[in-house]
Amino acid sequence: MARILSIQSHVVSGYVGNRAATFPLQLLGHEVDVINTVQFSNHTGYNAVRGDRFSASHVLDLFDGLQTNGLDAYTHLLTGYMGNSDNVRAVECIAQKLKHKFPQLTFVVDPVLGDDGALYVPRELIALYRDVLCPLATLVTPNQFEAELLTNTKITSLDTAKSACDELHRIGVPNVVITSAVLDSASGDHTLHLIGSELCLESGAKHQFAIAFPRLSGYYTGTGDLFAALLLAHYATLAPQFAALGALARACELATATLAGIMQATKLHQESTLVNVASNLPRGSRPNAMVRGFELRIIPSRHLISNPTPSFQSFSI
């Protein structure tokens, strides 16, 4: 069982950030404590959002309280949405303190920068993630756009995806998962690829792999947060069982199976609402009833979390 500190966003209603991560991690048998970087009424796909963004001093003060009371015996650190450079620096400080106390700490960084060509955060965070958090990380989980920003590599094929992974290895990250990429060789934009790469720092051995899976139409939010949590949960369980490389690919198969199942359940739920879904609606213009229908069906799909059946197999690349 892992003891996990998760630092990312929080919403009162819906499933993104810590709301998407905590339940799956707990259901898979791990202890989870959370520090929230924001507290919003709902995610930003809705037409209105209320709440506060928390300062780095707030994040550090909460962690100081944990330290003071001896509550900081974590084996894993998971980070998601930071929002500003000060919070990235706060996470750097927390990661260094946890590594000092427990050198074997597994640090999973979901570098939440943007998606589909659009940044969600100030551009200065790109360099901070690349130069500050990535060298401390055990595993990073960027999407295609984020991986391109971090590595200055245009990803159009499995070969260019491998090159992006190699650049992240060069920065110091032993395990890389590009969670979803549209490749030129795929069947239009109906197929997505996950690309993973694990590097043994001691021997230099490397295993690179991919998983192909169908792309579902719709406006899903929180899928990256959910995937990072699922991947951490399975990797924490599997890594001690593998004497060599291979744990990451298996963990990705299990996490992908759960995520695909939950997204399919969400799609079916949205269709049952009979709310029309138009294409290419920008944030802020999507009807709230439609957005609500696309909230991830995590709780009704708990059986897919606890007992995933891998339906998409990894293959070496």
* Candidate list 52, 61, 184, 225, residue with the active-site label: 225
Annotation says 86 is catalytic = no
Give per-residue burial for 152-188: e unless 16+ CB within 10 Å, then b: ebebeebebbbebbbbbbebebbbbbbbbbbbeebee
Three-class SS string for the chain?
A: CCEEEEEEEEECCCCCHHHHHHHHHHHCCCEEEEEEEEEECCCCCCCCCCEEECCHHHHHHHHHHHHHCCCCCCCEEEECCCCCHHHHHHHHHHHHHHHHHCCCCEEEECCCCEECCEECCCCHHHHHHHHHHHHHCCEECCCHHHHHHHHCCCCCCHHHHHHHHHHHHHHCCCEEEEEEECCCCCCCCCEEEEEEEEECCCCCCEEEEEEEEECCCCCCCCHHHHHHHHHHHHHHHHHHHCCCCCHHHHHHHHHHHHHHHHHHHHHHHHHHCCCCCCCCCCCCCCCHHHHHHCCCCCCCCHHHHHCCCCCCCCEEC
Structure tokens at 158: 């499995």
Judge whether 158 and 183 are in contact, CB under 8 Å. Answer: yes
Judge whether 50 and 12 are in contact, CB under 8 Å. Answer: no
Catalytic residues: 225
